[in-house]
Amino acid sequence: MSQSSIYYFYCTLTHIDLVRARITITGVGFRAGEDGITFTWDGPIIDTNFVAQPNGTFSYSIVVPPCVKGRHILGVYGSSFTPIGIVPDLEFEVTPNIQLTPSNVVNSKDMRIDGNGFNADEIIAINYDKLATGATATTDAKGNFSLTIQIPSRPGKVHTLEAAGNKGGVAQASYTSGSLPPPALQLLAPGPGATIYGYTSVVDALSGMLKSPGSLFGIGPNPKQSGADTSLAVLSWSADADQPGLKYSLQISKTPDFTSVTVQKDGITGASLNLMKSTLPDPGTYYWRVRAVNDSGDIGTWSNSWQFVSAAASPLVLAIVFTIFILLLAMIVFGIIALVNRSRYN
């Protein structure tokens, strides 16, 4: 009987990157149909009673069992025809590895991290894109750990997580972030064709008229120069409760095709914008639209556009101011007449 021997599919391999790697073992020189072939890892049996082919060969795959960082021994022997010691052992070096399992809920920030091949009782710190997360875990006696963290919101698609141990174990893994596309937005207020006024109070209108009488009718300096910088209107649009953290961009233009943008506001954190007098240059007809940007940096499409008219003062304010002006004028005229009559009789 010739001496049995074993040849490994990876006969020159001395380094394993993945702890859960599958190793294929090819054996030759065993007895025809020999049963009881046994496989060991660091001494203990991991499988047994494997049967060789009629020509004395076999091919067998194993998954590397959980084990700590460092060198480990894979052994193979058969029945009484190929006892322990006939087939040379083969040493492997196991290095740390982490596997990432993102939540299957789109936009969830839950990330499960499973680590293997670290040192026993090693304290592991988790870094995200080279920044510390503050999350830690301690490995068990076989160098394994598992934890779930909330990953930070950071623009971009590919991110890297690193598990760094206090005993020298280090492993990295990358994942591609997934997110819902930014929603299509619907404008809410002011409604299409609405009119907003620069002067919304009589006091403001009188003050503006004193500085520039024509400003009440859109003639001369604009309201921001002849009155206080107050709110013209609150522009609002729909929000998506399923996508927190959205930011918005808003455009206002004098043309419906937005070829020339009068106002551009980016990074708006809420679903509304307080439009101030100082923001809108002059009375006239305007068009506005908005779009959303999610926390991955994806930019949504522009909403439909609505038209609004910016006027200097409302008809009611104009009527009151005009009435006050007539009364003041009448008082002045009657005052002059009274003075003239008094001087005539004196």
| Amino acid 219: pLDDT | 43
The answer to whether position 181 is within a domain reads no
Per-residue confidence at 232, pLDDT binned at 50, 70, 90?
Answer: confident
331 in a structural domain = no
Residues 299 and 209 occupy one common structural domain: yes
Q: What is the pLDDT of residue 138?
A: 96
Cα(53)–Cα(33) distance, rounded to whole angstroms? 5
Q: Are residues 18 and 138 in the same domain?
A: no
82 and 107, same domain (yes or no): no
Whether residues 111 and 88 fall in one domain: no
Total domains, the chain = 3
CB 30 within 8 A of CB 58: yes
- Tell me the CB-side half-sphere exposure of residue 22, using CA atoms within 13 A: 4
Whether 170 and 196 share a structural domain = no
Give the pLDDT score at 181: 79
Q: Which of 142, 157, 176 is the last residue of a domain?
A: 176
Distance CA 240, CA 179 (A): 14
Q: Is residue 338 part of a domain?
A: no
Write the pLDDT tens digit of every residue in 97-133: 998 988 766 666 788 999 999 999 999 999 998 889 9
Paired tokens of 280: 């809108």
- End-of-domain residue from the set 133, 151, 176: 176
pLDDT digits (tens, 9 = 90+) for 275-306: 988 888 678 899 999 999 987 778 899 999 99
- Among 1-5, 91-95, 126-130, 192-196, top mean pLDDT goes to 126-130
Domain finish residue from 94, 121, 148: 94
d(CA 143, CA 116): 6
Residue 69 sits in the same domain as residue 18? yes
Query: Residue 225: inside a domain, yes or no?
Result: yes
> Are 90 and 103 found together in one domain?
no
Weakest-pLDDT range from 183-187, 305-309, 328-332: 328-332
Whether 74 and 172 share a structural domain:
no
Cα distance between residue 289 and residue 233, in whole Å? 15
Same-domain pairing of 231 and 314: yes
Same domain, 75 and 106: no
Pairing of strands 194-199, 306-313: parallel
Are 78 and 103 in the same domain? Answer: no
Q: Is residue 332 part of a domain?
A: no
* Percentage, residues of the chain above pLDDT 70: 72
- Tokens at 107, concatenated: 């936009």
Question: How sure is the predictor about 3, in pLDDT bands with cuts at 50, 70 and 90?
Answer: very low
Q: Determine the average pLDDT of the residues in 62-84.
A: 85
For residue 191, the enclosing domain spans 187-320
Question: Domain containing 18 — which CATH number?
Answer: 2.60.40.10
pLDDT of 13 reads: 37
- Is the per-residue pLDDT at 226 higher than 60? no
Helix axes 202-211, 315-345, angle to 10 degrees: 60
CA 308 and chain centroid, separation: 34
Residue 138 within any structural domain of the chain:
yes
Q: Specify the pLDDT at position 61.
A: 82
Query: Are both 25 and 73 inside the same structural domain?
Result: yes
